[in-house]
Structure 1
Amino acid sequence: MMFDRITRIAFGVASAFLMLLAFGLIAYAAYEVVRSLLIDRTDIGATLLEAVGYTVIAIAVFDVGKYLLEEEAIRGREMRQAAEARRSLTKFISTIAIAVFLEGLVAVFEAGKEDLRMMIYPTLLLFTGVALIIGLGIYQRLSAMVENEISDPESSKKTPKARTARGTA
């Protein structure tokens, strides 16, 4: 019981720290944009793209912190329904995939302006985002099938022909 409490506190502290870091990234991005506008008068486009990158990373970091807080610190390791766990994981992975896609797009714009040979990294980021979405789709499909079989054990005993006939009727 004491170890569980210590673990929850550790996850709570870690998630709060991650959230503070995310806010720090956003504040730094805003500072750089304002500084570029008022003081440097440098290429504002590059500064804005960099700020978008920091903001995207901050969103992903904040979501990781929120996930740790909700799933580990508040709820602990209690048993939940499979559908609830699937929804939670889907939301988490979706946020990470969006962050990867946005970071890939920012990197495409930056690399396209400088050197086309630098397009390998953004391309790999975009492929990673696609792989995350495909993996999430496969996970959802398989877990939904298992949930349906568990909730309706009679349907798993029927032959595929009977299920097909039932579906066409």
Structure 2
Amino acid sequence: MNKAKNISDLIGRAVYGLISLSLGIISLTMMGVALWDIWLSVHERTLLVAALLNAIGLIVIGMAVFDVSKFLLEEEVFSSSATKSPEKQRQALLKFLVIIAIAVSLESLVFMFDAGSQDITMLIYPTFLLISAVLLVVGLGVYQRLTRDEGK
């Protein structure tokens, strides 16, 4: 039974490692594409502001994907499943949700600038995205308040 658990753990770590590596490559590719688009916009003298806004969006998403990749690598590949206390699991969940909240917040701001410069009637969608980011942060605060250790 113990040997089967070790094999299962090894397979799980390999799969999470492959997923993490794939996400890291995808995120770096997104950031490279963003920089390439800026380069082309500067040298072809096209709309630089539009290219910069698109690049910000790609880089923010790439950063979030890279953070998720790093999180998976640290939590699922390098850490031992035997040492995961409830407190460590709580911290890992909070770290992951903070990454998502930051990415959603930044992306909503990029969408707001883009919509505000093109069509003011389109501001409703990024506004709802920003509201969802705020609700996520509030939810994180409530979660931390409800799960904190009273002995500390």
Task: Establish whether TM, by shorter chain, passes 0.5.
Answer: yes
CA deviations 1:35-84 (Å, max 9, x no partner) are: 00012x11111110110100100111011111111111122533423333
Which residue of the other structure, out of 125, 135, 147, is the alignment partner of 1:121? 125
Q: Which has the larger Rg?
A: 1
1:26 maps to 2:6: no
- TM-score of the superposed pair, with normalisation by structure 2: 0.89
Share of identical aligned residues, percent?
41
1:92, distance to aligned residue in structure 2 (A): 2.0
What's the TM-score once normalised by structure 1's chain length?
A: 0.81
- 2:114 corresponds to which of 107, 110, 114: 110
Could you tell me which runs of 5 or more consecutive residues in structure 2 were left unpaired when the two chains were aligned.
Answer: 1-5
- Is 1:82 equivalent to 2:86 in the alignment? yes
Q: Secondary structure at the match of 1:42?
A: coil
The one-letter amino acid paired with 2:81 is R
CA distance, structure 1, for counterparts of residue 71 and residue 144 of structure 2? 19
Deviates more, 1:19-28 or 1:69-78: 69-78
Q: How many residues align?
A: 147
Q: How far does the alpha carbon of each residue in 1:71-125 deviate from its partner, in whole angstroms, 9 at most, with x for none? A: 1112253342333333332222222111111110110111112212211220111
State the partner residue of 2:104: 100
1:142 deviates by: 1.0
* Aligned residue among 44, 50, 53 for 2:48: 44
What is the CA–CA distance in structure 2 between the aligned matches of 1:46 and 1:78, rounded to whole Å?
49
Is 1:13 aligned to 2:18, yes or no?
A: yes
The answer to whether the 8 A contact 1:8-1:76 is kept is no
Maintained 8 Å contact 1:101/1:129: yes
Q: CA RMSD of the aligned region, Å?
A: 1.5
Of the structure 1 ranges 71-80 and 89-98, higher mean CA displacement relative to structure 2 is found in 71-80
Distance 2:51 2:13 in 1: 39
- Distance in 2 separating the partners of 1:78 and 1:143: 22
When structure 1 is superposed on structure 2, of 87-96 and 106-115 the one drifting more is 87-96
